[in-house]
Amino acid sequence: MSNPNSGTIAHQVSGSLLSDANTRLEKALRYVTIGEDAIERLRAPKASLTVSIPVRMDDGSLRVFQGYRVRYDDSRGPTKGGIRFHPGVTLDEVESLAFWMTFKCAVLNLPFGGAKGGVTVNPKELSKFELESLSRGYIDAIADFIGPDVDIPAPDVYTNAMIMGWMMDQYSTIRRQITPGVVTGKPITMGGSLGRETATAMGAFFSIQTLMPKLDRKPSETTVAVQGFGNAGAVLAELLYRAGYKVVAVSDSQGGVYAAQGLDIPSVRQIKDATRGIKAVYCRGSVCSQIDHEVITNGQLLELDVDILIPAALENQITAENADRIQARYIFEVANGPITSAADAILESKGIQVFPDILVNAGGVTVSYFEWVQNRSGLYWSLEEVNRRLNEKMTEETERIWVTAKELSCSMRTAAYVHALDRLGQALRTRGTREDYRS
């Protein structure tokens, strides 16, 4: 049903990211009935915090870093979302990511709302001691804003289990009690969950495996290119390789490689781990030899003629400027927001199917939920149990969104937002609506 308030959920901000995120809802709002009260509640973040974090550097100087934490919506439960350390972090970006997390948690039917955090910093320029000081200082600044029943951070771009461990330890020190449930993605020895580090990739893999038969695709006949050979992209590339897909190209921030005959992904990962560079190699033990390949840029990888393109790096990789040159048949968004709304329209006109980030990369937050549950119960699961539960979640919600897309004759992205809006609308309605207060 058409909604008279279409396109008005996200508040108007000067930055482009959140405004662009809001345009994805315009199509979805045509298919759902959501009350004015729900729209009003979702129009702006529930709370945004900007902090300054002073850090004493190794040379004795003092630097002050800018940090952010945004809780967008908690109608379905405490908010959940990662913390990224990146030089491009802005409040607009963090608000946008918190907005997306709200819908991602609803898509997977997790009892969470959406949040996100970040610090404007290039972590590669910091020593390990400086990085620890920054991580603990960030928690010092936001400790009253988070908590296991309020807002639960997790890893994101350039943060990892070690940093999450520091953050959990700092929060526990402030509260004078061990509080493992305040942060997920921690080291196993500090209450982390088995399977968390590979969760984003595993979730994407389960979603791809669910959809390929519906698209009449066999792994052995399917070529794949992965932009972003980091934690999620590299693990997913290897999962696909071992499942029989032909992974022909991978790249990181420095560039990439393309081999029409396919890459030996375990060998590429071995070299990446050893040298921090990507090379097209085949390894037997510690002996590696190069194979025929082309050196390509990230931009060139996006434009390769492949069956599946997987953007697994940062936002806004496919825009109106390059969308017309994209040749992939299917795009699975493992990064958050890698395709702009303007590019979406171009890709759709070209017949390219996009499977959205709020579904495809939701494995990370799903296993974060599992970790939070384990922390609260004190009962910890095996890796097999974690992956079994993740497979069930990803398969179930992928199937539901596929059916919704077919029933409404809309894109998978629109169907995912419809699915999320239905759940958010139900949660918000239980808090009272305009109709409840009419005399």
> Any idea what the CATH number is for the domain that residue 83 is in?
3.40.50.10860
Per-residue confidence (pLDDT) for residue 7, from 0 to 100: 45
Number of structural domains found in the chain: 2
187: in domain: no
205: in domain: yes
Question: If you average pLDDT over residues 195-219, what whole number do you get?
Answer: 96
Is 104 found in the same domain as 60?
yes
Per-residue confidence (pLDDT) for residue 405, from 0 to 100: 95
Is 209 found in the same domain as 172?
no
Is 169 found in the same domain as 69?
yes
402: in domain: no
Q: In whole angstroms, what is the distance from residue 347 CA to residue 330 CA? A: 10
pLDDT single digits (tens) 287-315: 787 878 888 999 999 999 999 999 999 88
203: in domain: yes
Per-residue confidence (pLDDT) for residue 435, from 0 to 100: 64
Instruction: Please provide the average confidence, as pLDDT, over all residues in the chain.
Output: 90
145: in domain: yes
Is 267 found in the same domain as 134?
no
406: in domain: no
Per-residue confidence (pLDDT) for residue 358, from 0 to 100: 93
420: in domain: no
pLDDT at 11 over 50: no
Looking at 342, 360, 378, which one is the last position of a domain? 360
Per-residue confidence (pLDDT) for residue 124, from 0 to 100: 93
Type of residue found at 402: W
Per-residue confidence (pLDDT) for residue 5, from 0 to 100: 44
Is 353 found in the same domain as 216?
yes
Is 175 found in the same domain as 215?
no
Range of the domain at 82: 45-180
Q: What CATH number is attached to the domain comprising 318?
A: 3.40.50.720
pLDDT single digits (tens) 242-283: 999 999 999 988 889 999 999 999 999 998 888 888 888 888
- 8 Å CB contact between 370 and 391: no
Is 86 found in the same domain as 235?
no
By annotation, the residues acting in catalysis are: 116
pLDDT at 401 over 50: yes
Question: Residue 325 CB: number of other CB atoms within 10 A?
Answer: 12
Is 203 found in the same domain as 155?
no
Question: If you average pLDDT over residues 185-212, what whole number do you get?
Answer: 96
E strand segments, 237-319: 246-252, 255-258, 281-284, 287-290, 294-296, 308-311
75: in domain: yes
